[in-house]
Structure 1
């Protein structure tokens, strides 16, 4: 009977996954806020969309640049300590934001501080948790944790849009600060760094494993990992396709979908609800993608994900009408595909570089993702000011996604685990 009880006992790794999911959910909710702020900032401060987009693009880029160093810091100083610190910095930054009056203050608080703080809680956190706590079900865990961004979007965007419309953007900001404080308490109580700390083996194993140690300086180790990765063809292909992934998701749709809807007479609340609906389907799509990446050649998965995403973006300029069923079809279709690319990309990176360095290498691949997002966020805002519409950015994103689909098939076969 005692043996049976042990066999059905919940592994603490799943509790860590739940706490990490909640942390990433809130971080994603914060990163999704700019799409609800562009129009209010235009109206209150008189800033152009290009200027606002420029600040947001800096935040997106820093969010990615922190990734490789985040992986090293999480391993060196512990997940709980780094996450609590990052959440506290983020809460302070957001609490001060409602007091700003000039663009440079927005650049400092949102472009710099918020970008750095949320960067510590990017996809690298999920990769680190899965690497520390799981031997089996890694693809599923990464899919679940990646899907947290969709859930954050689902929970936060409609609420923030409604609060912004009814009570102003400052009230929405203070609401998020309250949520972050609550999450800080949860992380401080229940987060654990490694199964070894509790005398446990990782899930799917019976062998105790000591935490990986980083002998180099936490800021030097990621640079050494990058230097070794630069000679690997898989790195360039994964980074290249992820550039186009960021270009076509959080940089373009995540930042400009609500303003684009506003241009076509669709209210902020309605557009935010459509983005949230994308989040519902992305939760399903990304989790299922994690399951598939444990079973199917990840190159083929990426080919279909990028290809179908590209086709959906090519039709988006013709679907922007509340009464047009094509807009709802796009919402569902695009949602299923939003960040389904992450689990197979992590799978390929692990195969090419090994589990010990995957966090830092994937961090650098994520830098490419955020660089693409930054380019799209800034470029789409400027093109909207110049051309008066988002048609060209949407069409360009569709074209580069089709290119990424064929790049995925070029990843060396001998480094792919089928």
Structure 2
């Protein structure tokens, strides 16, 4: 029997890649949120068109979602190090150009490019790719770390940037953000080796789409896409976008809704880490079913609550934990079913589904008006119950037994792997 002997990368290199890639996604997520902060300040200072500026913000958000699959293909063809460095350099260039812009149209165009670039470093995509290759047995925990870092960046940096903006103007904010990007570039340059991902020198290490559309895998991919879409609708689409408005309609001050949202984001940081560890220890499908049932209960209860401080505090803590719980479990299930080579492509599709569903839900609810808040949350609760039901009635093992082989689900890759084993006994 032939045995494959491959040089094993040291744990130190794996940890260095984890540090560098999480730093890059954190900084990228922070920079992508700056236009939301700067747009209002520029409108007040220069009396510019708010519609033009926010058109650039909206376009950037849309391109950020669409660019997620591009990120995984860049990693496959250029490598992790070159991809991260290229994206960070683009972000640095957009910050520099923002400092010399003189019209709102120029800002809008630059922010659209910035959003597209940041989408290539989507934490779901980069996180799943790095963790599946380096930490396959801890994919859930490491994916939760990426998600928590992406949430932590804007949560802690934007208040500091707001302080700089109020006291020293938007140029100081741009300069500070540029320093953060430069720091991330230096970290990535120093910690990520040139050939950063295992098997990157082999042609079959690049992501393949064909195996994802085989009949058996297509059913699994369709289920994961539906689950992720439900997550997007019920998290960012309903709660993230409209919780402040719901509190306002209930007669509460704007600061109350903002505080509840901030607490929810802070709790989500810990939720990503806690439930990431749980995803590695327990059955991912059962965890997802439990998460969706719990979310359904919370969504059904909120519009019917009294909106007291105590009840809103309970909702912020419980929903914040549940918000970050689904993605680590989805990453764990995707790795077990599709393998190391396909998980990046799968998670990129899931990222597009999440952002697209969230954007559509947010727009539809905003168009419908505040009188439909209760109905929208009830509908979201029903969607969560449907997602949980699909997970429960799915046959045991329908999403595949754990398979950490990099060629899982790819017959061409498996054949090349077998030939490599025969050549290198």
CA offset at residue 290 of structure 1?
1.7
Tell me: higher relative CO, structure 1 or 2? Use CA pairs within 8 A at least 6 residues apart.
1
How far apart in 2 are the matches of 1:260 and 1:161?
25
Q: 1:195 to 1:27 in 2, by over 3 A?
A: closer
Q: How does 1:338-357 map to 2 (within 5 A)?
A: 338-357=323-342
Please name the residue that 1:120 is paired with: 120
Distance 1:128 1:324 in 2: 41
Q: Name the counterpart of 1:373.
A: 358
1:211 paired residue number: 200
Q: Work out whether 1:266 is the aligned partner of 2:267.
A: no
1:387 Cα deviation after fit? 4.7
8 Å CA contact retained: 1:317, 1:394: yes
1:235 positional shift: 0.6
Deviations 1:353-390 (A, max 9, x none): 2222111122112221121122134334444xx55896
Deviations 1:193-214 (A, max 9, x none): 5567xxxxxxxxxxxx533634
Partner residue of 2:383? 400
CA distance in 1, matches of 2:300, 2:95: 36
Kindly tell me: are residues 362 and 55 of structure 1, through their superposed partners in 2, closer, same or farther at Cα, counting changes over 3 Å?
A: same
Q: Measured at CA, do residues 121 and 156 of structure 1 come closer, stay the same or move farther in structure 2, by a change above 3 Å?
A: same
Instruction: Decide whether the 8 Å contact of 1:153 with 1:276 is kept in 2.
Output: no
Aligned equivalents of 1:16, 1:261: Cα separation in 2: 42
Offset at 1:64? 2.7
Is 1:183 matched with 2:184?
A: yes
Tell me, yes or no, if structure 1 residue 310 matches structure 2 residue 296. yes
> Residues 152-301 of structure 1 correspond to what in structure 2 (within 5 A)?
152-164=153-165, 171-192=172-193, 210-211=199-200, 213-214=202-203, 223-224=209-210, 227-228=213-214, 232-257=218-243, 264-267=252-255, 274-301=260-287
- Structure-1 residue corresponding to 2:27: 26
Unaligned runs of 5+ in 1: 1-8, 197-208
Count of aligned pairs: 386
Q: 2: CA distance between counterparts of 1:396 and 1:157?
A: 32
Cα deviation for residue 74 of structure 1 reads 0.7
CA contact (8 A) 1:237 1:411 kept: no
Instruction: State the Cα distance separating 1:117 from its structure 2 match.
Output: 0.8
Q: Deviations over 1:92-135 (max 9, x none)?
A: 22444463644x5455333x312221111111111111122224
Could you state the TM-score of these two structures normalised by the residue count of structure 2?
0.76
- Where does 1:12-51 land on structure 2 (aligned, <5 Å)? 12-33=13-34, 36=37, 45=48, 47=50
Whether the aligned pair in 2 keeps the contact of 1:59 and 1:114 (CA below 8 Å) is yes
Q: Which runs of 5+ in 2 are unaligned?
A: 1-9, 403-425
More off after superposition, 142-151 vs 119-128: 142-151
C-alpha change, 1:85 and 1:253, in structure 2 (3 Å) is farther
- C-alpha separation between the residues in 2 aligned to 1:23 and 1:255? 26
The verdict on how the C-alpha distance between 1:101 and 1:120 changes in structure 2, with shifts beyond 3 A counting, is same
The normalised TM-score by structure 1 is 0.77
Could you list the per-position Cα deviations for residues 126-156 of structure 1 after superposition, in whole angstroms to 9, with x for gaps in the alignment? 1111122224322222222222122223322
The SS at the match of 1:354 is helix
Label 1:146 to 1:406 Cα distance change in 2 as closer, same or farther (>3 A).
same
Query: Are 2:67 and 1:81 aligned?
Result: no
Partner of 1:149: 150
SS in 1 for 2:278: helix
- Aligned residue number for residue 68 of structure 1: 69
Contact 2:275 2:325 in 1 (8 A): yes
Question: Separation in 2 of the partners of 1:224 and 1:66?
Answer: 20
Q: Deviations over 1:215-235 (max 9, x none)?
A: 69x7xx655455447962111
Question: Is 2:56–2:108's contact at 8 Å kept on the other side of the alignment?
Answer: yes
After superposition, the Cα gap between the structure-2 partners of 1:380 and 1:130, relative to the gap in structure 1 and judged at 3 Å, is same
Question: Which has the higher mean CA deviation after the structures are superposed, 81-90 or 181-190?
Answer: 181-190
Superposed CA RMSD: 3.6
Q: Distance in 2 between matches of 1:388 and 1:53?
A: 25
Q: Provide the C-alpha distance between the structure 2 equivalents of 1:413 and 1:237, rounded to a whole number of angstroms.
A: 14
| Counterpart contact for 2:296–2:380, Cα < 8 Å | yes
Larger Rg, first or second structure (1 or 2): 2
Q: Is the 8 A contact 1:57 1:377 kept in 2?
A: no
CA distance in 2, matches of 1:95, 1:290: 37
